[in-house]
Amino acid sequence: MIIAIQFCRIVLMPKFGTLHLMPIGGLLFSINFYYWTTATEYWIFLLLAFPAGIFFGLVSPPANVETFRLEKETGKILFPIFEAFMSLGVLMGALTSGFFLSQDIQPVTIFTVGSSIVGLACICLIIITVYSVVAIPTPKTELKLPDKAVILPGLIAALVYATYGIVVDWSAHWLSTEYKVSAFIAGIIIYCFSGTEIAALFLGSRLLRYFGETMVVFYGMIFGCMTLLGCLISDNVFLIGAAFGIFGFFSANFHPVLMRITGRLDIMNKEDAISDVNLMSFGGFIIGPPVIGFIGEHYGLTSCIFALPLLWIVCAFLIRPQLVG
């Protein structure tokens, strides 16, 4: 995925623009996804992970750059809405997977239907973009190290994405092993976190306009993190779920504002800066899971859960000088 992000940024976007690449990448991903998830041998499953990362790498950079371009053209705050739909996908995945498990539906059926729906939607978008959208190429760039001004936002984004997996990937396992709850109850953290995160992201533009970035992102983040820390000590599953809901609401707009800050940096090629931060963000995805898994195996997942709000408090203070309003 990281290699594809670089190739997309350097070669494809300057030649074809952004809007035409996203549905093509989505179509290729949906086709690969079917064969990937229905693979019957382990080595085939591992090999198909490579094209899955490549095709997703064709979607992510254009999506972020296009959102930034539309913000400049319209004067509206759009990054929170963009990320709201990503969070909506996480929530829908958690809810529908639990439902399908309870109905004893075969995974092959689920993956076939899911791949078909995504593929058909992407084909429709390809037709629409080909006939009604004029390609707007991004400025030409080359393979190089990120600008110094991008390093701090990129590292913060990488840390956020690395620890985001604690909620999405590990929280259900933590509840089921630590508190011996059912599979449905084990997903309470994801339900609460994603649900309130989506609400905060859809309200993000209004919240940022009315209260400013400092109040929403800095003080909101500190409040959400402190609330989560306090409720984790309680050892009550439902109170912990509610606390993750509060945490999700007050931390939701952190990453969108981080991308907006990147767009405000004094750099000639803004699209390049957005792509660099996006690249470093996904670097966090690579580093995060094995680190969390190692710490969880040797010291327990509880230590990772407690580390989450502490690390995000550090991120809030690091980003504080760049906030406006």
Write the CATH number for 61: 1.20.1250.20
Asked if residue 246 has pLDDT above 90, the reply is yes
Mean pLDDT, residues 238-254:
92
Q: How confident is the model at residue 35 (pLDDT cuts 50, 70, 90)?
A: very high
Longest distance between any two alpha carbons in the chain, whole Å: 58
Q: How confident is the model at residue 108 (pLDDT cuts 50, 70, 90)?
A: confident
C-alpha to C-alpha distances, 31 to 97, 110, 119, nearest whole angstrom: 20, 14, 7
> How many angstroms separate the CA atoms of 300 and 282, rounded?
25
Asked if residue 53 has pLDDT above 80, the reply is yes
What pLDDT is recorded for position 74? 87
Asked if residue 31 has pLDDT above 90, the reply is yes
- In a domain, residue 140? The reply is no
What pLDDT is recorded for position 215? 94
Residue of higher predicted confidence among 119 and 104: 119
DSSP H helices in the chain: 2-7, 13-16, 21-37, 42-56, 60-74, 79-103, 107-132, 148-165, 171-178, 183-186, 188-202, 204-213, 220-232, 237-251, 254-264, 270-299, 301-319
Would you tell me how many other CB atoms lie within 10 Å of the CB of residue 57?
A: 23
Percent of the chain predicted with pLDDT > 70: 98
What pLDDT is recorded for position 142? 74
Asked if residue 145 has pLDDT above 80, the reply is no
Asked if residue 163 has pLDDT above 90, the reply is no
Domain that holds residue 285: 2-133+145-322
What pLDDT is recorded for position 325? 67
Number of domains in the chain: 1
- Residue 268 half-sphere exposure, CB side, CA atoms within 13 Å? 3
What pLDDT is recorded for position 63? 87
What residue has token string 């429709």?
124
What residue has token string 């693979």?
39
Asked if residue 244 has pLDDT above 80, the reply is yes
- Written as six digits, the tokens of 255 are 């990453």
Q: How confident is the model at residue 24 (pLDDT cuts 50, 70, 90)?
A: very high
What pLDDT is recorded for position 245? 93
pTM to 2 decimals? Answer: 0.77
Mean pLDDT, residues 45-68:
88
- In a domain, residue 89? The reply is yes
> How many angstroms separate the CA atoms of 4 and 294, rounded?
28
What pLDDT is recorded for position 183? 67
Mean pLDDT, residues 166-195:
82
- In a domain, residue 160? The reply is yes
Cβ proximity of 15 and 292 under 8 Å: no
Ranked by mean pLDDT, the top range of 135-139, 189-193, 213-217 is 213-217
Average pLDDT of every residue of the chain: 86
Residue of higher predicted confidence among 146 and 254: 254
Task: Tell me how long the chain is.
Answer: 325
- Choice among 97-101, 147-151, 284-288, 319-323 with the minimum mean pLDDT: 97-101
Asked if residue 232 has pLDDT above 70, the reply is yes
Q: What does the buried/exposed string (b/e) look like for 237-275 if buried means 16 or more CB atoms within 10 Å of the residue's CB?
A: beebbbbbbbbbbbbbbbbbbbbbbbbebebeebbbbbb
What pLDDT is recorded for position 222? 95
- In a domain, residue 139? The reply is no
Residue of higher predicted confidence among 218 and 280: 218
Percent of the chain predicted with pLDDT > 90: 29
